[in-house]
Chains A and B, each alone.
Chain A
Amino acid sequence: MQKVGVLAAIDDINAAGGINGMQLEGVIYDDACDPKQAVAVANKIVNDGITHVVGHLCSSSTEPAADIYEEEGVLMITAASTSPTITDKGYQMIFRTIGLDSLQGPFAAQYVINSVKPQRMAIIHDKQQYGEGLATAVKTEVEKAGIKPVMFEGVTPGDKDFSALIAKLKKNDVDFVYYGGYHPELGLILRQSAEKGLKAKFMGPEGVGNPDISKIAGEASEGLLVTLPQSFDNDPANKARVEAIKAKGEDPTGPFVFPAYSAVQVMTDAMTATGTTDAEKLAEYIRANTFNTTTGELDFDEKGDLTQFSFVVYDWHADGTKTPAAQ
């Protein structure tokens, strides 16, 4: 998905004459989401003399790779890795154009506190970096507001049987569940909950906001709450770009397509403005300025994260569509 966005952005910029007369070229590397491969790929990128990277996708690959880029003065903007720890180490060369787990968690928690007001809340996660990070963020935030979750527990990713967990939720009379993780597990939890007569409301992060969840859970996915970044492909301003991507036979609706597009925009805007491709100068410029991109106005803080990234709570429907939820 990052690839689609990046290549689209490069095509657009080259078609418009490039940067200061130079044309961009995208080189694709595949780390297979494997941390070991990510280090090898990062070394190869440094070796090939590439100094501007959009990537990587999985947080566990981004993290070791970021170490190398920082060390070697390669500018990296990830459009997909949302783990807060990536930018925690005071890197200079690492940025991202996507909201952090640590932003999404509190946002979801605020909605829970103000709109859902659950009696007995449970927080479930999939023990992975993304899911557990979010679940912990939600837990800290709701506890501040005086909601004490009755359960905080992990499940095994790839597991298919959640009957024991659901029985436990039933026993604890849980009426609201926040799930930190991805759609395959939550889909099954929803489906099995419906079969076992658990009547609780569920909420999840963007990782569950995939049409596939309705395929798995069917009717049981009706009424699920999902926090999602604003969907940029529905933004009228991006219509031409969406069409262009569709014309190439690619899918423009992925959550990382437009953040990746804007990552390229940030890089190229900085290049145009500073008149250089020197990664360190670009990094300084990016940190100091605000960029107008397809994903809106982007402003980076000291750590290289976006100062704000807006999320929306959606009501999910059984046919895989969504509508903004009532506040």
Chain B
Amino acid sequence: MSEFSLYLLQQLINGLTIGSTYALIAIGYTMVYGIIGMINFAHGEIYMIGSYVTFIVIAGLLGMGMVSLPIILIIALVVAIFIASTYGWTVERVAYRPLRGSNRLIPLISAIGMSIFLQNFVVLAQGSRDVALPPQITGGWSFGDPSNFEVSVSYMQMMIFAATFVTMTVLTLFISRSRMGRACRACSEDLGMTNLLGIDTNKIIALTFIIGAALAAVAGLLLGLYYGVVNPFIGFIAGLKAFTAAVLGGIGSIPGAVLGGLLLGVTEAMTAAFFPAEYKDVVAFSLLVLILLVRPSGLLGKPEVEKV
């Protein structure tokens, strides 16, 4: 292959990696939106907390002298999911449930407040500086001509792809096959009616927040390991990008969130590849505006039906 196509391939892989992580976080946004029609502004902070928990558990276990990496990672994953889900549940309980049924803007403001609160809570509890974890999973696979241009895919990147793919499949199966999933879909169709049919909608909404938070924790673990750095402010940027991805793909649709995430990641990587890297965010947001102009409800979103 020519140098150019190898370079293009490398940037595509980079874009897909970052896109996968956007997708993981975007699913959380899209699920909450799909069911209660609200933006969970604090979702990015949950991801950040997931990252912190991962770091704490890994550092703690390594400090205790545990050496088996897979076991450490599994424990970290379980703990991160557990803690992040608790945070997700609490956010719903404190900032959303008491406000259900009020003007659309009210929970949004309350969620922005929650997001500011959580971010500063972590600043106070853990400090505002970058915390770094030495690389745990190293190595990778490379091909191409070393003298020309070598494409490299690290094991970490492959792990991110795999995790995104598995998570999305499991989630899609859960939503389409399980009893709870059916209840979720019913809620997103008509909350009031579902309630009348004897389904505890409060429970379903709480469950949605928990699932979203668990996915954010998975993203927190993967990205924490990939970049090796965490600080209290990563949640805002990641949340913004993921939310853009969710809207891009059509908010409310899970495949849409994944598609949106991948598209956004690849766009960013390609912009950085051929233009000055500082413009990648501008291009990302412009893409969003353009797509919404052509398809106002996103790539895979259902057109909204106005009800009188």
Direct contact of A and B (CB under 8 A): yes
> Which residues of A line the B interface, CB within 8 A?
127, 153-156, 158-161, 163-165, 167-168, 170-171, 184, 187-188, 191-192, 195-197, 212, 215-216, 218
In the complex, are the beta carbons of B130 and A184 less than 8 A apart? yes
Choice from B156, B228, B273 contacting A167 with Cβ under 8 Å: B273
* Chain B residues engaging chain A, CB cutoff 8 angstroms: 3, 7, 10-11, 14-15, 17-18, 129-132, 134-135, 138, 140, 142, 149-150, 152, 154, 156, 223, 227-229, 231, 233-234, 237, 268-269, 272-273, 276-278, 280-281
Q: Is the CB of A153 within 8 A of B130?
A: no
Between A and B, 23 residue pairs with Cβ closer than 8 Å are: A127-B278, A156-B280, A156-B281, A159-B237, A160-B229, A161-B18, A161-B227, A163-B14, A163-B269, A164-B269, A164-B273, A165-B277, A168-B272, A170-B149, A187-B229, A188-B227, A188-B229, A191-B135, A195-B135, A197-B142, A212-B132, A215-B132, A216-B130
Q: What residues of A have a CB within 8 angstroms of the CB of B234 in the complex?
A: 158, 160
Chain A contact residues, majority secondary structure:
helix
- Compute the total of residue contacts between A and B using a CB distance below 8 Å: 89
Determine if B276 and A154 form an interchain contact, defined as CB atoms under 8 angstroms apart: yes
Question: Residue among B7, B15, B18, B229 with the most chain A CB within 10 A?
Answer: B229
Q: In whole angstroms, what is the CA distance A205 to B280 when docked?
A: 25
The 5 closest A-B pairs by CB, nearest first: A164-B272, A154-B278, A163-B14, A216-B132, A215-B132
A189 → B minimal CB distance (Å): 11
Contact A171 B154 (CB under 8 A): no
CA distance A153 to B280 in the complex (A): 12
Cβ-closest chain A residue relative to B230: A160
Q: How many angstroms between the C-alpha atoms of A197 and B144 in the bound complex?
A: 13
Find out whether the CB atom of A156 lies under 8 angstroms from the CB atom of B278: yes
Q: Which residue of A lies closest to B237 (CB)?
A: A158
Q: Within the assembled complex, what's the spacing in Å between the Cα atoms of A307 and B56?
A: 48
Q: A164-B11, A195-B152 are in contact. List 10 more A-B contacts (CB 8 A).
A: A154-B278, A158-B237, A161-B227, A164-B280, A165-B277, A191-B227, A197-B142, A215-B131, A216-B229, A218-B134
Most buried by B among A160, A184, A192, A212: A160
Contact of A154 among B18, B140, B142, B277 (CB under 8 A): B277
> Does B132 lie within 8 Å of A155, measured CB to CB?
no
Contact check, B233 vs A197: say whether CB atoms are below 8 A apart: no
Are B14 and A167 in contact, CB atoms less than 8 angstroms apart? yes
Give the chain A neighbours of B15 by CB distance below 8 A. Answer: 164
Q: How far is the CA of A163 from the CA of B138 in the complex (A)?
A: 15
A42 to chain B, nearest CB (A): 25
Q: Judging by beta carbons under 8 Å apart, are B138 and A195 in contact?
A: yes
State how many angstroms separate the Cβ of A317 from the closest Cβ of chain B: 15
A196 touching B132 by the CB < 8 A rule? no
For B152, the chain A residues whose CB sits under 8 A away are 195-197
- The minimal Cβ–Cβ distance linking A156 to chain B, given in whole angstroms, is 6
Question: Given the known A-B contacts A160-B234, A164-B14, are A153 and B276 also in contact in the complex, defined by CB atoms under 8 Å?
Answer: yes
A223 vs B3: C-alpha distance in the bound complex, in angstroms?
Answer: 29
User: Are B3 and A171 neighbours in the complex by a CB distance under 8 Å?
Assistant: yes
CA distance A164 to B9 in the complex (A): 11
* A191 with B268, Cβ < 8 A, contacts A154-B276, A164-B273, A216-B130 known: no
